[in-house]
Structure 1
Amino acid sequence: MRVAFQGERGAFSEAAALQLWGEAVEPVPLRSFEEVFRRVQEGECDRAIIPIENSLAGSVHHNYDLLLQHELHIVGEVNLRIVHHLIALPGTRLEDVRRVFSHPQALAQCEQTLAAMPGVEVVPAYDTAGSVKMIREQQLTDAAAIASEQAARLYGMEILRSHLEDVPDNYTRFLALSREPVVPSGPSKTSLVFAGKNVPGSLFKMLSVFALRDIDLTKIESRPLRGKPWEYLFYLDFAGSMHEERCRRAVEDLREIASFLRVFGSYPRAPQIWPNNNHQAL
């Protein structure tokens, strides 16, 4: 199964694909998320895996926009524990590092740690593993990358420091995409997007279709509605499947109220891999 993902071999997206599909995966690393979506939509790849949100840095907004622009279905999700490593050429000392490269999301997740490294320039790059590959290819002796342990092994590099993430509970949620939908069995989740009329109480009325049926909303994200300044699309996830009557009726009621609605798919819900903390106050 050819699986498209953004980045180079050794990226966290590849690890998510392997966790979801195992040895069936034939990795297809690509430069951009746009290319990832295009390859699957045009049939050049069977599946895609994309990051959609991180527990520290928040949502990957661009991927929400791409979901709307392409006719793909969400067919699965993966929750991946993210451990960031500082990786450099073999023989490089920590005090030699003057530049740190990585994807902006990874840099954001390590912001406090990097701020405590005086004299180090932080350089955004298109990929975590791609930063490791670049340092190796260009033999940059004053540089390091933030990436996975797998990336260090894959490119024959050295880990100078581990656990760079500012908070140990660092998780990224990935979505699996396909041209065809799936019928989930067991615990499931559904993702959709909708827009409402710009009138008082509109959002309350639209969300009430779920509350009245005791349907758990697991995520809601607003994005600007193009061509209509200060109006918004709402991306929503809820626990349950469109094959359950109460969920189907809730979405049917929402469709009657909303000015626009599209269901991205129902899919198996990934197990929780983080400990419960009872929502302790910050």
Structure 2
Amino acid sequence: MKDLKEIRAEIDSVDKELVSLYEKRMALTEQVADYKLSTGKKVFDKAREEEKLEKVTSMVDDPFLKRGTRELFEHLMSMSRKRQYQKLAEKGIMEPIPFEEVAALPDKNIRIVYQGEEGAYSQMAMQQFFHDTTNSYHVQTWRDAMEAIAKGEADYAVLPIENSSAGIVSENYDLLVEYDNCIVGEQIIPIDHCLLGTKGSKLSDIEQVYSHPQALMQCGRYLDEHRNWEKHSFKNTAMAAKKVKEDGLLRQAAIASRLTADIYRLDILDEHIQDNSNNCTKFVIVTGRKIFLKNAGKISICFEIPHESGSLYHMLSHFIFNDLNMNKIESRPLGERNWEYRFFIDFEGNLNESAVKNALHGIKEEAENFKILGNY
């Protein structure tokens, strides 16, 4: 039997040959790229790659090595494509990204829409982001807000997208795909929930509690302590407070903000009732124009991929190869195809950066229904 030192020396020798062959293969890739550039052929040829994978794996008998061979060549071809995308960018042939850079968001004579009633957390986020919100109005649903942007009835909409305790607002992820609006900003605000009742009511009077489903989830432990209370979902925390005010029943309470208590003249029966003392909600600012700020540092995208082994891995490799930091990934089911998903990704970068352009071009070429949701 050979000793370990001798075996390792042989591995080093093989590795040296592999590196040399890799360099030779990538040099040939450069020639392929030049040919495709001159003829206008697409970089990604799925049928050709699948044919190649079948051929190389047929050369191996051992099942484990067969799987490894396929994975090795999938990665080699992925690296080849990424180099070809780089060459496209260097030659200025890459399809331009349809977003316009602006020095500042237009803020003169603008109209802003948010969902809910006066006192809603969306209104607070709007006030913190825009400061001057004199020309704003509210609508019943998030879809109404997106529709107002699409129809040109408003310039900006403010939508909750994620809570630090309850997670994503899935409906708004879906609306970002459905509508051709884009994200141009975000605002994070602390969420401090109170239990609000009509004037003169006491905690012992409460039988029914109204609030938005997210707020009910964020106060889950508190509500579990009062199991006799009936919980009712409402479109908005401020709408729930307004209902309690209008009904005027001692047995009803709403979970909403302290500001809402002042607006609707309700008593605060309990406060700080959320499970997480650092409870925060992230809101996105949406507009109908495809614009981004010069100093924008976060990009949101979504795409679909074939329902097959390795698909997501190959998409994510574009971030790794271009040295981009991905900081969030979510998935949402595709309603028309059971057990298949659309992926949403946030990563650091600006649409002017060459690494970002390379990554986005590669993902667009290789994914299905790719969309840039915004750079902000």
TM over 0.5: yes
The alpha carbon displacement at 1:3 in A equals: 1.6
Give yes or no for the alignment of 1:13 onto 2:13.
Answer: no
1:184 aligned to 257, 270, 293, which one?
A: 293
Greater share of helix = 2
The alpha carbon displacement at 1:175 in A equals: 0.8
Provide closer, same or farther for how the CA distance between residues 165 and 174 of structure 1 changes in structure 2, counting only shifts above 3 A.
Answer: same
Q: 2: CA distance between counterparts of 1:82 and 1:236?
A: 25
The alpha carbon displacement at 1:172 in A equals: 0.9
The alpha carbon displacement at 1:169 in A equals: 1.8
The answer (yes or no) to whether the contact 2:111–2:135 under 8 Å persists in 1 is yes
Matched pairs, number: 267
Give yes or no for the alignment of 1:244 onto 2:344.
Answer: no
1:105 aligned to 205, 214, 232, which one?
A: 214
The answer (yes or no) to whether the contact 1:34–1:66 under 8 Å persists in 2 is yes
The answer (yes or no) to whether the contact 1:83–1:164 under 8 Å persists in 2 is yes
The answer (yes or no) to whether the contact 2:211–2:233 under 8 Å persists in 1 is yes
Give yes or no for the alignment of 1:222 onto 2:222.
Answer: no
Segments of structure 1 that go 5 or more residues without pairing to the other structure are 268-282
Give the 5 Å matches for 1:97-176: 97-176=206-285
The answer (yes or no) to whether the contact 1:17–1:25 under 8 Å persists in 2 is no
1:46-74 per-position Cα deviation (integer Å, ceiling 9, x unaligned): 11011111111111111111111111011
Provide closer, same or farther for how the CA distance between residues 159 and 27 of structure 1 changes in structure 2, counting only shifts above 3 A.
Answer: farther
The alpha carbon displacement at 1:264 in A equals: 1.3
Segments of structure 2 that go 5 or more residues without pairing to the other structure are 1-109
Secondary structure of residue in 2 paired with 1:183: strand
Q: 2: CA distance between counterparts of 1:99 and 1:264?
A: 39
Q: 2: CA distance between counterparts of 1:107 and 1:142?
A: 17
Tell me which structure has the larger Cα radius of gyration: 2
The alpha carbon displacement at 1:156 in A equals: 1.5
Q: 1: CA distance between counterparts of 2:353 and 2:173?
A: 25
The answer (yes or no) to whether the contact 2:113–2:156 under 8 Å persists in 1 is yes
Further displaced range: 81-90 or 184-193: 184-193
1:180-225 per-position Cα deviation (integer Å, ceiling 9, x unaligned): 1333233511111111122211110100100222211121111122
Further displaced range: 117-126 or 92-101: 117-126
Moved over 4 A (4+): none
The answer (yes or no) to whether the contact 1:75–1:176 under 8 Å persists in 2 is yes
The alpha carbon displacement at 1:26 in A equals: 2.7
Greater share of strand = 1
- Letter of the 2:253 counterpart: A
The answer (yes or no) to whether the contact 2:295–2:350 under 8 Å persists in 1 is no
Cross-structure match for 1:29: 138
Further displaced range: 100-109 or 110-119: 110-119
The alpha carbon displacement at 1:118 in A equals: 4.3
The TM-score normalised by the length of structure 1 is 0.91
The answer (yes or no) to whether the contact 2:303–2:344 under 8 Å persists in 1 is yes
Cross-structure match for 1:273: none
Give yes or no for the alignment of 1:73 onto 2:182.
Answer: yes
1:207 aligned to 316, 319, 324, which one?
A: 316
Q: 2: CA distance between counterparts of 1:89 and 1:13?
A: 23
The alpha carbon displacement at 1:125 in A equals: 1.4
Secondary structure of residue in 2 paired with 1:53: strand
Q: 1: CA distance between counterparts of 2:331 and 2:185?
A: 22
Q: 2: CA distance between counterparts of 1:239 and 1:98?
A: 47
Q: 1: CA distance between counterparts of 2:167 and 2:183?
A: 20
TM-align CA RMSD? 1.3
Give yes or no for the alignment of 1:261 onto 2:370.
Answer: yes
The TM-score normalised by the length of structure 2 is 0.69
Q: 1: CA distance between counterparts of 2:254 and 2:133?
A: 29
Q: 1: CA distance between counterparts of 2:341 and 2:292?
A: 30
The answer (yes or no) to whether the contact 2:185–2:284 under 8 Å persists in 1 is yes
1:100-159 per-position Cα deviation (integer Å, ceiling 9, x unaligned): 110111000001101112422211112101111111111121111000111111112221
Secondary structure of residue in 1 paired with 2:292: coil
Further displaced range: 123-132 or 222-231: 222-231
